[in-house]
Amino acid sequence: MNLWNFALFVTLVKGWVVNHGTTCTLYPESLTHHGQEVDDSPSIQEAFDTCGTNGTVVFTDNVFHVNTVLNTTNLLNCDVYLRGELRLSTNIPYWRTHAISVVLQDQVTAWLFGGTNVNFYGQGGFYNGQGQAWYNANRNESNQPGRPMSMTFYNSTNLHVDGLSVIQPQFWATFVWASQNVSFTNLFVNATSDSKWGTMNCDGYDSWQSDNLYIENATIITGDDCIAAKGNTTNLYAKNIYCEGGTGITIGSIGQYPETPDYNMNTTFENVKIKNAMDGAYIKTWQGTRIYTPSNGDWGGGGTGLVKNITFRNFEMENVGLPIQMSQCVYSANSDKGCNTSTLQIEDVKWENIRGTSRFNVASSIYCSDERPCPNITFDRVNITSVNTTRHLPYYGTDVQHQIFQCTNILGQNGSGIPCNQAAPSNFSQWIYGNVDSSGLATLT
Ligand X SMILES: *[C@@H]1O[C@H](CO)[C@@H](O)[C@H](O)[C@H]1NC(C)=O
Residues that bind ligand X (CB under 6 A): 53-54, 71, 73-74, 77, 100, 116, 140, 155, 157, 185-186, 190, 192, 196-198, 200, 209, 216-217, 221, 223, 231-232, 234-235, 237, 240, 260-263, 265-268, 309, 311, 347-348, 360, 375-376, 383, 385, 388, 393, 395-396, 435
Closer residue to ligand X in complex, CB, 27/422: 422
Rounded distance, CA 154 to CA 32, Å? 34
How far apart are CB 136 and ligand X at their closest, in Å? 11
> Residue 7: which H helix or E strand, with range?
helix 3-12
Rounded distance, CA 296 to CA 298, Å? 6
Backbone angles phi, psi at 16, to 5 degrees: -115, 30
Closer residue to ligand X in complex, CB, 130/376: 376
CA 230 to chain CA centroid, Å, is 9
Closer residue to ligand X in complex, CB, 140/334: 140
Task: Answer for the pair 434, 442: CB distance below 8 angstroms, yes or no.
Answer: yes
How far apart are CB 89 and ligand X at their closest, in Å? 19
Q: Helix, strand, coil: what percent of the chain each, to 5? A: 10, 45, 40
Task: Answer for the pair 264, 219: CB distance below 8 angstroms, yes or no.
Answer: no
Closer residue to ligand X in complex, CB, 241/329: 241
Closer residue to ligand X in complex, CB, 9/237: 237
Of the listed 224, 225, 262, 279, which one is catalytic? 224
SS3 label, residue 406: strand
- Specify whether 162 is catalytic: no
Nearest residue by C-beta to ligand X? 198
Continuous H helices in 53-167: 92-98, 132-138
If one counts every other C-beta atom within 10 angstroms of the C-beta of residue 123, the result is: 14
Rounded distance, CA 194 to CA 9, Å? 40
Nearest to 226 by CA among 182, 164, 152, 276: 276
Our CA dihedral for 9, 88, 222, 263, rounded to 10 degrees, sits at -90
Rounded distance, CA 242 to CA 234, Å? 22
Closer residue to ligand X in complex, CB, 157/289: 157
Closer residue to ligand X in complex, CB, 25/232: 232
Closer residue to ligand X in complex, CB, 92/229: 229
Could you tell me which residues come within 8 angstroms of residue 243 by beta carbon, excluding any fewer than 6 positions away? 204, 220, 221, 222, 226, 227, 249, 272, 273, 274, 275, 277
Nearest to 120 by CA among 145, 83, 67, 150: 83
Q: Which amino acid is at 31?
A: L
How far apart are CB 6 and ligand X at their closest, in Å? 31
How far apart are CB 157 and ligand X at their closest, in Å? 6
> Residue 80: which H helix or E strand, with range?
strand 70-82
Backbone angles phi, psi at 174, to 5 degrees: -135, 140
Task: Please list the active-site residues.
Answer: 224
